[in-house]
Structure 1
Amino acid sequence: MSNVSQVAKESVTEIGRGVYIASLLPSATIVLSLYALIASHLYPWAKPIAQGGARPSTVSPGIASIVHTTTSAGPIGYVLLVLGIAVGAFLLRPFQVSVVQFLEGYWTGALLRGLPAALAIERHRRIWSVNDARRRASAAKAQSSEFEEVAAFAARAAAADRIKRRGIRVVARYPGQSAWILPTLLGNHLRRAETTAGERYGLKTVITYPRLRPHLSDPVDRAIAARLAVIDNSSMYFFIFGFEATVTGPLLARLDGWSLISPMFCALAGLCYRGARVAARAYGLALATAYDLHRFDMLKALHLRLPGNLEEERDANEELSRFLEEDPMSLLPPAAWDAYEHEGSEQSATEARSASQSGAPSGP
């Protein structure tokens, strides 16, 4: 079995039922909605379906037209509809990663990478800088002990505290540095998670997480995977509902109850995006938890000495991150690697010395 096939098999095994949610339902939603829109004859330019017989009549647009079109197609129509859903599931699956990357703000192409991306980034940088200043705000002290002055100071202190807490909440949505800000809020949530989880201990998250993941406990690993699955699925459904809002846009010209379909899809797309943002913040917490609990397991697997305090840990981890980030052939190992820490090595050395002194063989 090739490496690509092995990776695909392991991915499907890990996702499990999520494969059907991430692939089948989105494609079914698109195919069935497009079929329903065309068969309903609700578009302003569509003509009603004419029925023959003794008393010729027309089928009213909407559900009646969908039922009439479906029943008229017969078994062949059902087979084609099922095939359309299956083909849609096959074609949409590879685009899921691209959809998530687009919502994160990794825009490609000259049209998006230029002015739109610059304007979006500048907007988020302004929000970040304003709230970064707000979280440092403090009320002016009272000038005297008079009741009016003390009461005014209490009101100013309460207002400053509200502003400060709001600034802290907003800044917590963004990366630690303005240079890392992305065009979208979802991307900034994920960028913050990927630049703070291990960095608190001197470890670069993006570089060291592949070495950390094999040592995660099952609850932490499942929590991270579950939040990533929610982000992927929410992003995919955001794209689908946005597409549905676009294709149903012409129904606004009807000025009747069917005109509410497009705004409804817009609201659903907004809810999906909000859900992806909430999952992204929860993912950041889960990722930070992984480093809080299992970073020493990674160091033990690398046979490195465990640090004695936080300052020593940060210095050693920064050196380790630089070594893992660079080409190992062009960078000397960290100073902490001058001697490895093997589990049980001291006990084995003691037993060997005792055996040599007694004249007994030290091994087979």
Structure 2
Amino acid sequence: MSAPAQLATGVTQLTASRFALVSYLPTYAALLYLGALLAARAPGGGIEPSRALSRLHGLSGAALIGLALAALLLAVLLHPLQAPLVRLLEGYWPHPARAAARCGTTVQERARNRLARTAEAVTAHPADAERQRMLAAAWQLARSYPPPPVPLLPTALGNALRAGEATAGSAYGADAVVWWPRLYPLLGERLRAVVDDRRDQLDLACRLTVTAGATALLSVPLVLGGDGWWPASPAVLLLAARVAYRAALAAALGYGEALSAAFDLHRFDLLTALHLPLPADAGAERALNRRLTRYWAQGVPLTDLAYEHGHEPDPLAPPPVPPAAPAEDGPR
């Protein structure tokens, strides 16, 4: 492969990677917007886009590479903060924000109660339209809010993710949070691709939400005193953050469905990998899975647990010789 082809392949792989999608591209877009605003500021306080374009044309190739590397470095530094950013949007807020957390939890509780009342409004002979509305409310309630007594979080995103964690595997006695690190490596290739894709969608939408909101706040002092539509650009970014949050909520619902599918299809693969006998019925399965959950989560010892070791063939041993077929009796 020639050098240009190798370079093109490397660039394609980088831009298609999770790091580029979730971390680099949103960071680069935010820095590009803020840098353009800084370059467009005129001495009198106005904003002149032509001024930014002229400064961009005046940059050397080394300066452009340096800016790209600076954006890459910032994206690398921010990448470990992806999980805390998601938890922030879920509603895991620090102690000083407890008042806001209580208000958010109250709002979420009222929304859940409205859905619950709609789902339970069944008459003796409900009309088709009413039945469809009831079924839709019940379906949305199960996907968007965790079942009692699981506590609610102050955001819709947090409750949707908590509902997926509480629902996946619960019918089989498995705790999704505890089981997932052990179950994920055993997923099939196609299902793992679905899970990874939906997780990437969730992380990207969360990163866009935070990046757009932070960029809007940072751009406020840069657009003050500008003419035209420039002073309204922070509001546009806040609207984009709102849209990205709705996208994160939809991605969370899809991710919860993928978790449930993983437990439905591969929970027995984990028992086989642990060399445990497969349960004979649903009751035995729930009892075994609850014991495993308590062991992994709380360290409760597993006593009187029998293992089932399969006899795997030795790859270095010669293949077995099939028995000779019995001779057929000839005519007498």
Structure 2 length normalisation: TM-score?
Answer: 0.80
Secondary structure, aligned partner of 1:106: coil
**Structure 1 gap ranges (5+):** 1-12, 49-59, 142-152, 346-364
Distance change (3 Å), C-alpha of 1:165 and 1:30? closer
Distance change (3 Å), C-alpha of 1:334 and 1:220? farther
Structure-2 residue corresponding to 1:128? 112
Structural mapping, 1:18-33, within 5 Å: 18-33=18-33
Deviation, 1:66, is 0.5
Secondary structure, aligned partner of 1:256: coil
Deviation, 1:62, is 2.4
CA distance in 1, matches of 2:301, 2:87: 35
**Structure 2 gap ranges (5+):** 1-12, 313-332
**Amino acid in structure 2 at the alignment position of 1:195:** A
Contact kept, 8 Å, 2:152 with 2:159, in 1: the verdict is: yes
CA distance in 1, matches of 2:264, 2:228: 56
Structure-1 residue corresponding to 2:309? 342
Contact kept, 8 Å, 1:203 with 1:318, in 2: the verdict is: yes
Deviation, 1:83, is 4.4
**Amino acid in structure 2 at the alignment position of 1:130:** R
Secondary structure, aligned partner of 2:241: helix
Structure-2 residue corresponding to 1:4? none
Structural mapping, 1:300-339, within 5 Å: 300-327=272-299, 331-335=300-304, 337=305, 339=306
Contact kept, 8 Å, 2:47 with 2:227, in 1: the verdict is: no
Contact kept, 8 Å, 2:15 with 2:21, in 1: the verdict is: no
Deviation, 1:36, is 0.9
- Which protein has greater RCO, CA pairs closer than 8 Å, 6+ apart? 2
- Find the partner of 1:70 among 51, 56, 65: 56
- Is 1:85 matched up with 2:71? yes
Contact kept, 8 Å, 1:323 with 1:334, in 2: the verdict is: no
Contact kept, 8 Å, 1:212 with 1:295, in 2: the verdict is: yes
Deviation, 1:174, is 0.9
Structure-2 residue corresponding to 1:289? 261
Secondary structure, aligned partner of 1:304: coil
Greater Rg by CA = 1
Say how many residue pairs are matched: 299
Structure-2 residue corresponding to 1:47? 44
Distance change (3 Å), C-alpha of 1:311 and 1:38? same
Deviation, 1:334, is 4.6
Distance change (3 Å), C-alpha of 1:207 and 1:79? closer
Deviation, 1:91, is 2.6
Structure 1 length normalisation: TM-score?
Answer: 0.73
Distance change (3 Å), C-alpha of 1:254 and 1:166? farther
CA distance in 1, matches of 2:174, 2:232: 51
Identity of aligned residues (%): 30
Contact kept, 8 Å, 1:320 with 1:334, in 2: the verdict is: no
Distance change (3 Å), C-alpha of 1:91 and 1:243? same
After superposition, the CA RMSD in angstroms is 2.9
**Amino acid in structure 2 at the alignment position of 1:341:** E
Deviations 1:125-160 (A, max 9, x none): 22222322321111256xxxxxxxxxxx75xx7446
Deviation, 1:163, is 4.5
Structure-1 residue corresponding to 2:3? none
Deviation, 1:164, is 5.2
Deviations 1:201-250 (A, max 9, x none): 00111112222222211111121112111111211111111122223345
**Amino acid in structure 2 at the alignment position of 1:111:** P
Contact kept, 8 Å, 2:34 with 2:219, in 1: the verdict is: no
Deviation, 1:275, is 1.7
**Amino acid in structure 1 at the alignment position of 2:166:** T
- Is 1:61 matched up with 2:30? no
CA distance in 2, matches of 1:132, 1:288: 22
Structure-1 residue corresponding to 2:247? 275
Distance change (3 Å), C-alpha of 1:316 and 1:35? same
Secondary structure, aligned partner of 2:120: coil
- Find the partner of 1:224 among 187, 195, 217: 195
CA distance in 2, matches of 1:14, 1:293: 32
Distance change (3 Å), C-alpha of 1:85 and 1:324? closer
- Find the partner of 2:215 among 244, 262, 274: 244
